[in-house]
Amino acid sequence: MKDERITKLAARLIHHSIQLQPKERILMRGHINTKPLLKELIDEIYRVGAYPYVELEDDEISRHLLQGNVKEQLDTASQWALKKYTDIDAVIIIAGEENDAEMTDVPIERHRLQGEAMNSPTLFYVNNRRWVLLNYPTKASAQKAGMTFNRYEDFLLSVCTMDYGKMEAALKPLKQLMERTDKVRIVSPRTDLTFSIKGMPAVICAGKRIYRMGKCLRHP
């Protein structure tokens, strides 16, 4: 049976978080078990009149690739990624964790090589696109949260589908207060901290993240 909360989440991501416009190109990367959300996103993107692109990921396949990767191989992948992110306007990344320990037997050197290859300038292009990263409810993530799967799924989907526009409006007075504040004091049992936030920007966290020229304008 179709879960209407997934449909609602897709609409929130496209219209509020990404604010997708007609003819824009959006890349979605998600684990295979996130297909219900990916399908809803594709349908919503077409309703907007934009162009969806999808990459399915699998941790077991990724582990096998990582076990033998070499610099030349990863340099090629980095160049492909650079071209890809140059051509798109927005990115949605959906994590569907199934096993938190899947990569534990991959030598640290392999992880380091991949990190170096996929860093700048590819990372620059990712950070200068409108992008969202979110978790999809899985039994592995529910276990880490110490919750039953049903309870965790209800919790995650209720949070991700809340009225973020209403939240953004409610946070504006707090933003104004923080922008005119100098000293902040936090007091609790065995804690007494005083520090200054004078001159620091206050960023409303209400389900959006949009980067332009490396400067964060909206933050989830």
Note the helical H segments in 69-215. Answer: 71-87, 108-117, 122-127, 139-144, 149-160, 164-179
Ordered structural domains, the chain, with CATH: 4-162 (3.40.1830.10), 167-218 (no CATH)
Instruction: Give the amino acid at 178.
Output: M
Q: Reply yes or no on whether the pLDDT at 123 is more than 70.
A: no
- List the structure tokens of 33: 């078990």
In angstroms, the Cα distances linking 202 to 14, 154, 178 are 25, 31, 6
Q: Reply yes or no on whether the pLDDT at 122 is more than 80.
A: no
Instruction: Give the amino acid at 211.
Output: Y
Beta strand 210-212 pairing with 215-218: antiparallel
Residues 72-95, mean pLDDT to the nearest whole number: 88
Q: What is the pLDDT of residues 126-147, one digit of tens each?
A: 667 888 999 999 999 999 999 9
Q: What is the pLDDT of residues 43-63, one digit of tens each?
A: 999 999 999 999 999 999 999
